[in-house]
Chain A
Amino acid sequence: MSWNQHLTAGSRQGLPPSGYPAVELQQVTRFYGSKNTGVAALDNVSLSCPAGTWTAIMGPSGSGKSTLLHCAAGLDQVTRGRVLLAGRDITTAPDGVLTEMRRRTIGFVFQSFNLISSLTAEQNVAFPSKLAGVRVSKSEVRQVLAGVGLADRASHRPRELSGGQQQRVAIARAMISRPAVLFADEPTGALDSNSAKMVLELLRNMVRTVGQSIVMVTHDPAVAAGADTVVFLADGRIVDRVDMPTIRDVAERLTRLES
């Protein structure tokens, strides 16, 4: 069974009730530091990412991209505004609810792959399900790994894998629970171009074939161009937005923002 078959075979547990956006930010402000000397990393940001679409967030360094992602995923608390994830208001959700959502509703892929160094690839993939008390069969884990092209690397530890392979393990780990939203923070940032290409292809396939919702932060126009929508941030505010972007669209806007 291929990656796509695996995903379509079972029901998507974390899917939002139909009609709800995958992620919705309503007038979100995130303030760091004290009142006088602090900075607003996000300043009154409203954003809606429809379910089954791929949204890329771009902007110069310090524009608030990662903060937006962290707030949207419930990793960081907003100072003002509301955050809805798969139709559920998580703005003031207690830790238990957020933990539960990390297990079932959200998947993460980061630039630094954040695999648990002491576990093998398949143990890493199965780990979140085990935490959630869900039994996953070895064959299921192997299938997911095969889906990301790592069938022969199941018993390797992260340090025995290349960067691209580690990132694919991270994607497999994020996807095994079939989450409603996959958050990706510079997923190709630490990869060579070939590995980056392979990872992007994986993500694109996931959106196209099973309607996976993805919210991704990147600074690479080529990567962003793969998304359905690109949102541009500057100084904590959304300043532009392109649907169905081309690499050139994205690059031009980014250059303008950075200049």
Chain B
Amino acid sequence: MFQMSFSTFRERWELFVGAILSVAVGVALVQASMLVLVATGDPRVPPGLSRQAEDKVREGFVGAATVMGMTAFLAVFLAVFIVSSTFSFTVAQRRRDLALLRLTGGSRGQLRALLLSESLLLGLVGSALGVPFGVIAKYAQTWLLVEIGLLPDGFTAPWRLWAVIVAGVAGVGVALAGVFTASLRAAKIRPLEALRETGEAARAMTASRWLFGLSFAACTIAMVVWAQGANLIGAMMAALGISVFGAVAMSLLSPLVVPFMAWLFGILVPGSTLVDLAQANLRDGVRRSAATASPLIVLVSLLLGLAGTFGSLAAAGGEEAKRSVNAHLVVTSTGEEAERLPGIEGVAVASRQNTVDIAITVEKTQNKRVITRNFYTGIIAVDAADYARTHTLPPSAGSLDALTGNTVFTGPARHADRIDPGRVLAADVGGQPLELTVVGGLPETLETGDSFLVPRQALPRQVWAGAPTETVVQVAPGQDPDDVAERIEQAGFGQVRTVSGWAITRAENAQDGNVEILTVLMGLAGLYALMAVVNSVVIAGTERRREFAVSRVTGLTRPQVVRTAVVEATAVAVIGLVLGCVVAGAGLLGIGGAVHKAIGATVVAVPWTLIMVVAIGSVGIVAVTSGITASIVTKERPVSLVTTKE
């Protein structure tokens, strides 16, 4: 039996190379993500940094760990999805061979054993190749994380044997699991199918495809509905879930859409014989079309879904920031300079917010152990009255009126830490100990926000005088904000912005960070999915040698055959794109609902540029790949393929 596998491998290596590569790259990604994830859990802060910089590095590590956790999750999902769809596609493509095996006396058990042992072998080879690939992937991920500033220069993720073993075992396991259902299906192939010239077209929509497709679709819809009432972290997780579940649902149900798309395609594209043939091929090869579209659906829904989610959150954060400030202008300066702002003509209120370099210690009891955490960043010195007049975000506990003397207010960033009013926090103000009583707190916001608000009067002047300061300015009634802005600029202030301009900049900065994070998340994973797209196009093309030969002896020229294949592949790519966009749209619907609940306005950012890039890129790649494949497989003289039946 293995002899047959081995000779099939020599004969139709594209089928097996595709499967091996899908395992190898999957193992590489999982292994690299795990290694980097584990290394980020043990932050090593470079020596000689200020406390604030150290804090920033630590925060970066936490951020990197979150990103890598998501990357690892995506890598596992993609590996499972791509390997199983590649393997089941290769089994479907060998249907006639397998029927022949049954005809010559192969039992169902032997067929299953053959496919499972084949996939075990492919899994082992793929995993073995995946380990060195993983080293490259690890460097690529580390480089990306350092490049976007989440991790400090010189960060390395040490080699750990267990991660390699886990990824390798997962690779073999995924290969076996991937082929398992396909082998059950293959065992049902009747020997008679070998006698049919074209092979009995396997039903594209099997019972299990219906069952799983509808279940995943139902889960996706449930998550969209649930996200409407969820908080933002929940909505983000739901968005990821919607992308993943929706992509699986759409790939499973895509055979239902193919005939419809073929029909639509026939209407949109003016009829020519070639287009008609491509359209008929699309309809006839539903299983093949669906298998080619699958990885594209996943790629598009993940990429656009995540980009849309991050983009919407950033835009919503900007919108929320704008809404939470009841003022006209934002001026950036030092604390000392900002003291002059209230005196400028037309300024009604100037809420100076100095980012001060002090430390606040929070003790937390967890599992009967006292955990001490020092905060150095996000500590803002304010005048409570001015702050209250210019900010609309109502406190979740206490009142800003009480923020006088040695007190402290928790900011949105610390909301989740549940530091209740009445507690006393130790502070280190330029070496002087200070005790601050918590008098209230602000609720969570879309943006992380500040950690603590401290009354400026409680701090010595030298602490805030040189601190970077943002002053939120309310213009006096009857005054034109533009005039006031001009006066402030004339008074020597460099950076004066309108509140909406300031909010937009914040959203843009957040969006820049998002793009970087998305690059880490989807960079390698996207390449993996793209590889799977190319893979399925190549497999689908090479398996059609005889069909192409028949077209040629029917009267088509070689370029016409290639063109038909390209038209067909393009249509399949469009199907994948559209279905992927539907999933991404569902993700946006979810996040839109959650944002509406959080800030009272629906803010959704549709990543149009990315959609265009992905659309042009994926259609282009699919078209080029299918063109190249079709011209390679039509090299042989058609008559030699048509007459020899084997």
Contacts and interface: CB of A to CB of B under 8 A. Distances in A.
Interface of A: 70, 75-76, 95-96, 99-100, 102-103, 108, 110, 112-119, 123, 127-128, 130-132, 158-159, 163, 166, 173, 185, 190
B103 A102 contact: yes
B108 A112 contact: no
Contacts of A96: 107-108
A134 B32 CA distance: 47
Given A76-B192, A95-B108, A113 B102 contact: no
Contacts of B195: 70, 75, 110, 112, 114, 185
A185 to B, nearest CB: 7
A159 B643 CA distance: 10
Nearest to B97: A116
A3 B186 CA distance: 36
Nearest to A69: B195
Choose among B7, B190, B191 the residue with the greatest number of A CB atoms under 10 Å from its CB: B191
Contacts of A76: 192
Given A116-B100, A185-B195, A130 B646 contact: no
B10 A118 contact: yes
A159 B222 CA distance: 55
Given A117-B646, A118-B4, A99 B105 contact: yes
A127 B5 CA distance: 12
B7 A118 contact: yes
Contacts of B3: 119, 123, 130
The residue in B1, B101, B104 that gathers the most chain A C-beta atoms within 10 A of its C-beta is: B104
Contact of A99 (B10, B12, B107, B192): B107
Contacts of A118: 4, 7-8, 10-12
B645 interface: yes
Nearest to B195: A110
B417 interface: no
Contacts of B643: 163
Interface string B79-103: 0000000000000000001001111
B401 interface: no
B11 A114 contact: no
A70 B12 CA distance: 30
Given A114-B103, A118-B11, A131-B104, A75 B192 contact: yes
Contacts of A185: 195
30 contacts: A70-B195, A75-B192, A75-B195, A95-B107, A95-B108, A100-B107, A102-B103, A102-B105, A112-B195, A114-B100, A114-B103, A114-B194, A114-B646, A115-B646, A116-B97, A116-B100, A116-B104, A117-B11, A117-B646, A118-B4, A119-B4, A127-B4, A127-B104, A128-B104, A131-B101, A131-B104, A131-B105, A131-B106, A158-B646, A185-B195
A190 B7 contact: no
A103 B104 CA distance: 7
B367 interface: no
A116 B11 CA distance: 11
B479 interface: no
A125 B4 CA distance: 13
Nearest to A98: B191
Contacts of A166: 646
B100 A112 contact: no
B644 interface: yes
A75 B191 contact: yes
Nearest to A101: B105
Contacts of A108: 103-104
Nearest to A70: B192
Given A118-B8, A119-B7, A185-B195, A113 B646 contact: yes
B475 to A, nearest CB: 81
Contacts of A103: 105
Given A96-B108, A112-B197, A113-B645, 14 more contacts: A95-B108, A96-B107, A99-B107, A99-B108, A115-B646, A116-B97, A116-B101, A117-B97, A119-B3, A119-B4, A123-B7, A128-B105, A130-B3, A131-B101
B110 interface: yes
Interface string B185-201: 00000111011010000
A122 B79 CA distance: 40
Nearest to B197: A112
A115 B8 CA distance: 13
A108 B99 CA distance: 14
A169 B240 CA distance: 57
A163 B106 CA distance: 25
Interface string B620-646: 000000000000000000000001111
Given A102-B191, A117-B11, A123-B3, A159 B105 contact: no
Nearest to A66: B195
A84 B6 CA distance: 38
Contacts of A75: 103, 190-192, 195
Contacts of B12: 118
A186 to B, nearest CB: 11
A190 B191 contact: no
Contact of A131 (B108, B110, B646): B110
Cβ-closest 10 pairs across A and B: A103-B105, A118-B7, A158-B646, A118-B11, A112-B645, A117-B646, A99-B107, A102-B105, A128-B105, A75-B192
